[in-house]
Structure 1
Amino acid sequence: MLVFVIPLKSRQFSKSWERVTQLFERCIKSVCHQTSSEFHVIVVCHEKPDIQFNHPNITYITVDFPQAKDTKYINQGRTDKGRKILKGLVEAQHFSPTHTMAVDADDCVSRNLAEFVKNNPNSNGWVINKGYKYQEGDKYIYVKRNDFYKMCGSCNILRYDLNLIPENPEYNRGYGYYKYYIDHAKVKNILKEKDINIKLLPFPGAIYMLATGENHYYDGTRLNFSIFNRKTLNQSIRDEFGLYDL
């Protein structure tokens, strides 16, 4: 079974809590729109968001970790994210997952992930090599044909033991303690150095939402959209990823 872990930023750290909540509601609807019922979702947050959507496969874990003091400092937000991912992964063991996937709280994912994992329970895991990137309100969506996992945090599906969870997890440490859970682009190579190979997911697995106003990090290069990778945002893509306009 696949367990998704969604770390949600706090109201205090948000530029707009209303916007964060809207993005999160679309994200969790997307995650729960799986073709297989064999999945669970763990949301780790400081405060539970007020949304209308409910699903029996969702568990909310509220935490009181020290919160970032200044939104200008990226590492403060990323450390908070790392703590929450680690907490979610620890909690995930209660659902006996074969695999887990961390999902950024503003992205959308393919509805085919849980079924794919169900059919491949013994795999080390996968990185999402091909996906989409999208800017809110655009009539086009852009294909990222390679190295999607290097730009988007919703990208690694790992066999549970390959999360390398510490024997005694700590939640009051600095940025370096959580780097494995934060630096998503490096996970594939870190495991390769341990002679553990994870595969490329054989289909587009996620949509990276850009310039939401609440991203922890993005730069101008990520907003450069080539017309050669552009395609009309059709209903088929919307249905597979649960993408709707906010």
Structure 2
Amino acid sequence: MLNFLIPVKNHIDIKNWDIIKKNIQSTLISINNQSDNNWHCYIVCNTGCDLPALPDENKFTILSVDLNKKNVQKSAGLHSYYDAIREDKGQRLYTAFKKCNNDDFFMVVDYDDFIHKDISLYVNKHQNENGWYIDKGYFYSGGNVLIKTKKFDTKCGTSNILK
């Protein structure tokens, strides 16, 4: 089974939540369009977060947490700021990891990314592998432009599948 893990930043810290909510909706739709049905998606967000409607409540689970109490600002220094972001994301992912079985695959998905419809099909046909990285992919501008890129795994967080 492939588990998609989506860590969502604290909605209180985001200036325009409506844009983020729209991005999350598009991401959830792309995940829901998987050609193989052996997958699950965990969305980890703060309690009280206003998420879009789930495409399929049997395939998506919302995990509510109370994190990001530090609220480190950029003015505290970029090093401290980015450390706090990484720690927060790590805690959210750990919450979701605990829901996965030991022999499951997982893929961290940024809440503004799209997933190819055959990812779960590929993963479920290759259960004996330890994982993959995606080195070729596309960046989407939100308009009519797709930009194909090499070394995708060095530029996008949604590029690894692990067991």
Q: TM-score, normalised by structure 1?
A: 0.59
Higher RCO by CA contacts (8 Å cutoff, separation 6 or greater): 2
- Code of the residue aligned with 1:51 in structure 2: it is P
Gaps spanning 5+ residues in structure 1: where? 160-246
- Does the CA contact (< 8 Å) of 2:44 and 2:92 recur in 1? yes
1:158 to 145, 159, 162: 162
Partners of 2:44 and 2:62 within 8 A in 1: yes
Could you say which residue in structure 2 is the equivalent of 1:83?
Answer: 91
Residue 110 of structure 2, aligned match among 104, 110, 122: 104
CA distance in 2, matches of 1:116, 1:61: 27
Residue 65 of structure 1 is matched in structure 2 by: 67
Report the Cα distance in structure 1 between the residues aligned to 2:141 and 2:42, rounded to whole angstroms: 26
Extract unaligned runs of 5+ from structure 2. Answer: 75-80
| Residue 149 (structure 1) aligned to one of 129, 137, 153 | 153
Partner of 1:37 in structure 2? 37
Which residue does the alignment assign to 1:24?
Answer: 24
1:119 maps to 2:120: no
What is the distance in 2 between the residues matched to 1:86 and 1:39?
18
- For residue 90 of structure 1, what is the amino acid of its counterpart? K
Calculate the aligned-residue CA RMSD, in Å.
1.6
Instruction: Tell me if the contact between 2:10 and 2:67 (Cα under 8 Å) persists in the aligned partners.
Output: no
Q: Distance in 2 between matches of 1:16 and 1:53?
A: 20
Query: Is the 1:27–1:108 contact (alpha carbons within 8 Å) kept by the matching residues of 2?
Result: yes
SS in 2 for 1:157: strand
Displacement of 1:67 after TM fit? 3.2
Q: Which amino acid aligns with 1:92?
A: C
Which runs of structure 2 are paired with 1:209-224 in the superposition (5 Å)?
A: none
- Structure 2 distance, partners of 1:32, 1:68, is 34
Opposite residue 54 of structure 1, the aligned amino acid is P
Shift of 1:15: 2.0
What is the CA-CA distance between 1:70 and the residue it aligns to? Answer: 3.8
Contact 2:28 2:55 in 1 (8 A): no
Could you tell me how far apart the structure 2 residues matched to 1:50 and 1:90 are?
22
8 A contact 2:7–2:110 mirrored in 1: yes
Residues 43 and 58 of structure 1 are in contact (CA less than 8 Å); yes or no, is this contact kept in structure 2? yes
Counterpart mapping for 1:164-203 below 5 A? none
The match for 2:78 is none
Secondary structure, aligned partner of 1:42: strand
Closer, same or farther: CA 70–52 of 1 in aligned 2, 3 Å: same
Does the C-alpha gap of structure 1 residues 38 and 140 become closer, same or farther in structure 2, counting only changes over 3 Å? Answer: same
Instruction: Report deviation, 1:54.
Output: 3.0
Inter-CA distance 97–54: structure 2 relative to 1 (3 Å threshold): farther
Percent of matched pairs sharing the same residue: 28
CA positional deviation for 1:10: 1.3
Query: Structure 2 vs 1, CA of residues 74 and 121 (structure 1 numbering), >3 Å: closer, same or farther?
Result: same
Q: Deviation digits for residues 177-232 of structure 1, max 9, x if unmatched?
A: xxxxxxxxxxxxxxxxxxxxxxxxxxxxxxxxxxxxxxxxxxxxxxxxxxxxxxxx
Q: 1:158 to 1:143 in 2, by over 3 A?
A: same
